[in-house]
Every structure is written in structure tokens, then in C-alpha cells.
Amino acid sequence: MSRPKIFLAAVLLCLMLWPAFATALTPEEEEGKSWALFRRIVGPSYLWGLDGVMTIPQADMIGPWKLAISGVWTDAGTLRGEDLYDVKYSIIFCPNPNMEFSYTRKELIFVDGLERSPIHADIYNLKLKIIDFDKDYLPKLGASIYGFEVNDIDDFAMSNVYLNLATVMTEDIPFKLPLLDESNLGIHLGVEFGLLESTETENFFFAGVDLSTWKNRIMLLGEYVGANEEGENGVFNAGIAFRLYDMFELGIASYDVGGQAVDESSLMVHTSFTIPIAKIWNHFAKKKNLPILPESEEDYQ
């Protein structure tokens, strides 16, 4: 492991051990499904099955020198009698196989007229791949820092800025079956530090699986998110996603199947568009004898 990666990993782990980042997110009025969804889903709009399952991270990135624009729309119930969408859209940039940055805008939007509610947030995320043995069947370890800032919330009594920390282990199991071509089973286990349920710092656990087949064109996804140390109060989400030309992605999922945490399940719709910066640059660079950018993790080896 290089010195910069060791330094970044050390800083991240020190932050994770700091015990005082969790803060209450409690509205003055009775909490409903809309607010429960808003405060539970605090990560970026991941590319499903690539750098995240659906709402939880993976240790993998979107790919070196790639820029992605991603969005998720979730049925968020009602607020003061009006139907709402929980809308989240992200810009994600990956400069190398071990680092990913993203900015996310998160809003509650009224269905009628698509007017914005007073509640919105900005989410800043840095994700690092700390350990990667670069061999099949051996796990990878990643970690994320989320800065979560809530704005324009006159009707709610809460602090404005939060810090969320998570670490995740990813295990990829490639395989081939008749008719399925190249396939992969991803298993993801992680822990998240605080910010969801109380004023005290708590650990919240998550787990997810994704089965990608036909060269990552079709993905089946499942995750269990936000369980406390007793394994309670988590939500189970299930979905399917389709990827075309490694650039376009469309997914649909059910959030909180069975309605255990937010009263009833919610429909989630995801879409993303990925720009392969290195591939576009190299197309012109080869003609002009300019430096070539790495297009995949293998190019770094």
C-alpha cells in the first residue's frame, strides 16, 4: 500500500473512532414517512450494482477517469396532507481505482406541480478503497465519509450539519452458467456510525447482495439497511437494474419491503449516465500523440 493511501486510511480510521458525531434529527411535529425516508437515505445516488447496491455503498468505484450523473426518485408518502417524492441526484467523479468523490442534492418535492418543499440537503462524499488484494474470492475494504447539511428547515428543530462515517467489505464471486454468460455475485457487509435514530452515537449495520449477469447488463439487488446492534429496526430493499453500453442505467426497486420501518413500502426509480472521460480523451490523444489516460483498473497494474 502506498504512503498516501496509508495516510488517508489512518485519517479515516481515526475519524471513525471519534465518538461524538451523532446528532438527533427530530422534527417538532410527529415524524411521518417522508421525514423517516429523508433522514435514513443519506448517501449519494449510487450506480446500482457498481459502486453501491441501492442505498448502501460497495468497496468498488464507478471506474477510473469516469464521471457519472445519477438520480433516484422515491415515493415519500405525504407531508401535511400532500404527496411527496424524495428526490436525490448526484455527480460522481472517480480519478483512480481507489478514490471517488460525489456531490448530492437531496430534496422533498410535492407531487402536485412538482414544487419543492422547504426541506433539502447537500451531501458531500469521499469514498476510499483501503484494501484490495486484486484476486478473485478475496475481499476488498472500503470506507466513506459523508458530510450531510440540511438547509431551509424553519419548521424543524435540529442542527444543520452532520457527519456520517461508514466502512464496507465487498466480496466478488465471478462465475459462469449456461445462458447467463459472465456473471458475478457481490456480497457486501458494513457498519455505519450514527446519525439515524438518537442523540447518542450508535453503530448501524448493513448488508447487501447483487447478482450481475450477461456482462453486467442485468442486476438483481437486495439489501438490509440500518439495523441496530441488536439487529432490529432495519429495512429490506429489493430491486432490479439494467445497464446499456456501460453508460446508461435504469433501475426499479421496493424500499422497505413489508413496511417495517416507514409504515409501508415505497417505489424507488433510479437512472444514471456515465461519461468515460479517459476513453473520450484517448480517442483524440492517440491521433495527436498526447499522454494516454488509464481506462480500467488493469491499466494501473
Q: Which of 121-135, 148-162, 235-249, 279-293 has the lowest mean pLDDT?
A: 148-162
pLDDT for residue 157 is more than 50: no
| pLDDT one-digit tens code per residue, 71-92 | 999 988 877 777 888 899 999 9
Neighbouring C-beta atoms of residue 253, cutoff 10 Å = 25
* Mean per-residue pLDDT of the chain: 80
Record: fold of 3-300: Porin (2.40.160)
Amino acid at 145: I
CA proximity to 296, closest of 101, 97, 99: 97
Residues 149-166 have a mean pLDDT of 64
Locus of grid cell 456501460:
246
- Reported confidence tier of residue 42, pLDDT bands at 50, 70, 90: confident
Q: What DSSP character marks residue 17?
A: H
| Residue 102 falls in which region: left (phi positive, over 0), alpha (psi -120 to 50) or beta | beta
Distance, CA of 57 to CA of 143 (rounded, Å): 9
Grid cell in block for residue 59: 468497496
- Which pLDDT score, from 0 to 100, does residue 178 have? 78
Distance, CA of 270 to CA of 253 (rounded, Å): 8
pLDDT for residue 159 is more than 60: no
List the Cα angle 218/141/51 in 5-degree steps. Answer: 30
Distance, CA of 41 to CA of 240 (rounded, Å): 19
Grid cell in block for residue 71: 438520480
- Which pLDDT score, from 0 to 100, does residue 34 have? 66
| pLDDT one-digit tens code per residue, 236-245 | 999 999 999 8
pLDDT for residue 163 is more than 90: no
Residues 283-298 have a mean pLDDT of 88
Residue pair 120/89 in contact (Cβ under 8 Å)? The answer is no
- The more confident residue out of 148 and 240 is 240
Residues 86-99 have a mean pLDDT of 94
- Domain parsing of the chain, residue ranges: 3-300
- Which pLDDT score, from 0 to 100, does residue 10 have? 42
- Which pLDDT score, from 0 to 100, does residue 6 have? 43
- Reported confidence tier of residue 43, pLDDT bands at 50, 70, 90: confident
CA-derived radius of gyration, the chain: 19
Residues 274-291 have a mean pLDDT of 92
Task: Classify strands 66-79 and 218-227 as parallel, antiparallel or unpaired.
Answer: unpaired
Amino acid at 161: V
pLDDT for residue 299 is more than 60: yes
Distance, CA of 97 to CA of 199 (rounded, Å): 36
- Which pLDDT score, from 0 to 100, does residue 223 have? 96
Secondary structure of 94-136 in the HEC alphabet? Answer: EEECCEEEEEEEEEEEECHHHCEEEEEEEEEEEEEEEEECCCC
- Predicted TM-score (pTM) of this structure: 0.83
Paired residues of 145 in beta bridges: 126, 165
Neighbouring C-beta atoms of residue 58, cutoff 10 Å = 26
Q: Give me the DSSP letters along 243-263.
A: EETTTEEEEEEEESTT-SSSS
- Residue 177: Cβ-neighbour burial (10 angstroms; 0-12, 13-18, 19+): exposed
- Which pLDDT score, from 0 to 100, does residue 35 have? 62
CA proximity to 90, closest of 272, 222, 279: 272
Distance, CA of 186 to CA of 164 (rounded, Å): 24
Secondary structure of 144-165 in the HEC alphabet? Answer: EEEEEEEECCCCCCCCCEEEEE
- The more confident residue out of 143 and 9 is 143
Question: What percentage of residues in the chain have a pLDDT greater than 70?
Answer: 77
- The more confident residue out of 46 and 201 is 46
